[in-house]
Amino acid sequence: MVTSDHLSIKEVSVVLRDNDMRAELHLKPGANVALVTEELCRIRLESEGVILTPAILADITSAVETYQKDPTQPVTVTVLGRTPVAGKDGYLQWGRGFNPQHLHGGVDEEHHTIDFYQRISYVVVQPGECFLNVIPPAPGQSGVDVKGKMVEGKPGKEVEIAFGEGVDARSDGQCVANLTGILMYQGNKVWVDPSLHITEYVDFGTGNIDFDGNIVIDKGVRDCFIVKVTGHAVVHGLIEAATMDVGGDLQALGGMASKEKGHANVGGNLLARYLDNVHVMVHGDLTLEREAVNCEMEISGKINIPHGSLIGGVCHVAGESQLATLGSPSGAATILHIGSLPRHESVLKSVLDMLDRLQGEIDRLTDKLKQLEQTGGRRNAQYQEAMTELMFRQSNLRGRHTDLDNRRIALQQRMAEQTSPQLHVEKMVHFNTTLICRKQAATFDQDLPGPVVIAWDQATHGLVYRDSDGKTKTLATLAHIHPA
């Protein structure tokens, strides 16, 4: 039985900790061991509201026995509640190869090698592709404190994610692209950008670029890298000895210096600060802020360099050319083909060669028919069969010749429409510059001051010029005319 003497013992006390998730029964040294009983310990714990289980009662019994054997040492009984477990937070589960924060591609698993030029830092998605699963948070598991009170476990947090253009976020957590573009993930937002934006250089950090759309490159393109896009491209920095394959327009705002190793193939127009030792093919117009130096160029439209120069190299241009200066004061060998479409001219040459071969075969068959008719003799079945076969072959070849000749006519008409062999030079045409048009070449042995207009004269089938006096004169008075 517990008396007031028992209850007055200060050496037996209870402390609650951690929001009642822990209770400690302390038996401190110095108490009258006769008064330290199991019943007293139970009363002290129960007075604090602690629920006593058989296991706790067994711990109390053991503690009292230990204390009574040696009351000079403290003894503690610890009662623990069942700790609640917080739920797992929601998270993003990227599909394989779709995490925009990782590098992709360039790995040859068979040979255990990596092509770092092919390692890319962006992800292209197509309509219908599921690139991301948003995993919901898990609920928490409840616990119980030492007083028997239920303690709820905190649920996991929802992942912070917002969706923009090009993303269908479904109720089951799947995220599916609805347009072609670059998968973007910034500031907890996911969207598909139909244009690719490279904020740094195109180098080993990005890998080669192959993208169906437009691209903006904030810096430049390093040596040996390839940028291939079907749309337009804007490059703010320097393009080095790289390959630019652009389906639309290319704006090389920092210029292109390629050490004779770089290539620019542009389906639209090319606007550049300058070009230095570049292989250029432009299906539209070329406009330069400064100069083009030692370039191999084929321009299907016009050239416009109103404040700069075309120096060295070989250039073919189909349309009109507007230049400040052609050539250089030092006499750098500069060749400019005006009214020229090399690819069309190559096709035309092949067509003309084929027409000559077909006509030769037709003439040969015609001679054989004449010879067969002149032999006379009986017009037997063998004779009739030979005549029929030769006439059939001749008719077939004439049909092919007619079709090919129609193609020739259409090609020449298209070339005539697309070419305008005319050159406007505002300041100077320097010596050692050669103009070529319609297989005629004009090489300048001395400087020709501008402004001057040089063009092909259809009436005289030769190159003519018009200077500041407005009169048209043959170019032979200023340059050496010779076959191209």
Residue with tokens 């230049």: 323
Burial 444-458 (b: 16+ CB within 10 A, else e): beeebebebbbbbee
pLDDT band at 379 (very low <50, low <70, confident <90, very high): low
So what's the pLDDT on residue 413? 83
So what's the pLDDT on residue 116? 45
DSSP secondary structure letter of residue 104 = B
Contact predicate 479/462, CB 8 Å? no
DSSP, residue by residue, 318-359: SS-EEEEEES-TT---EEEEES--HHHHHHHHHHHHHHHHHH
| Residue 198 to residue 218: CA distance in whole angstroms | 6
Closest CA to 306 of 136, 409, 426: 426
Domain boundaries, the chain: 4-80, 91-193, 198-282, 285-341+419-484, 343-407
pLDDT band at 300 (very low <50, low <70, confident <90, very high): very high
Highest mean pLDDT of the ranges 194-198, 208-212, 317-321, 459-463 = 317-321
| Residue 205 to residue 388: CA distance in whole angstroms | 71
Pairing mode of beta strands 214-217, 195-198? parallel
pLDDT band at 387 (very low <50, low <70, confident <90, very high): confident
pLDDT above 80 (res 382): no
* Percent of the chain surpassing pLDDT 90: 62
* Cα-Cα end-to-end distance for the chain: 129
So what's the pLDDT on residue 314? 96
pLDDT above 80 (res 47): yes
Angle between helices 381-418 and 342-374 (to 10 degrees): 160
pLDDT band at 260 (very low <50, low <70, confident <90, very high): confident
Least confidently predicted of 115-124, 186-195, 361-370, 430-439: 115-124
Phi, psi of 186 (to 5 degrees): -145, 140
Closest CA to 233 of 242, 186, 403: 242
Residue with tokens 């290319």: 250
- Tens-place pLDDT, residues 145-161: 999 999 999 999 999 99
Contact predicate 242/222, CB 8 Å? yes
So what's the pLDDT on residue 366? 87
- DSSP β-bridge partners for residue 184: 191
Query: If residue 362 lies in a helix (H) or strand (E), which one and from where to where?
Result: helix 342-374
So what's the pLDDT on residue 132? 94
So what's the pLDDT on residue 204? 87
Task: Share the mean pLDDT of the chain.
Answer: 88
pLDDT above 70 (res 373): yes
Dihedral angle sign, alpha carbons of residues 186, 191, 192, 195: negative
Pairing mode of beta strands 181-186, 124-125? antiparallel
Helix and strand numbers (H, E) in the chain are: 5, 40
Task: Specify the higher pLDDT residue, 264 or 466.
Answer: 264
Contact predicate 252/269, CB 8 Å? no
Closest CA to 8 of 45, 30, 40, 38: 40
Give the other-Cβ count within 10 Å of 149's Cβ: 14
pLDDT band at 296 (very low <50, low <70, confident <90, very high): very high
- DSSP β-bridge partners for residue 234: 216, 251
Burial 370-382 (b: 16+ CB within 10 A, else e): eeeeeeeeeeeee
Residue length of the chain: 484
pLDDT band at 106 (very low <50, low <70, confident <90, very high): very low
So what's the pLDDT on residue 107? 44
So what's the pLDDT on residue 294? 96
Contact predicate 286/310, CB 8 Å? no
- Tens-place pLDDT, residues 197-248: 888 999 988 888 988 889 999 999 999 999 999 999 999 999 999 999 999 9
pTM: 0.64
Across the range 97-117, mean pLDDT stands at: 58
Amino acid identity, residue 312?
G
390: helix, strand or coil: helix
DSSP, residue by residue, 391-424: HHHHHHHHHHHHHHHHHHHHHHHHHHHH---EEE
Phi, psi of 172 (to 5 degrees): -85, 5
Give how far the C-alpha of residue 200 lies from the chain's centroid of Cα atoms, to the nearest Å: 13
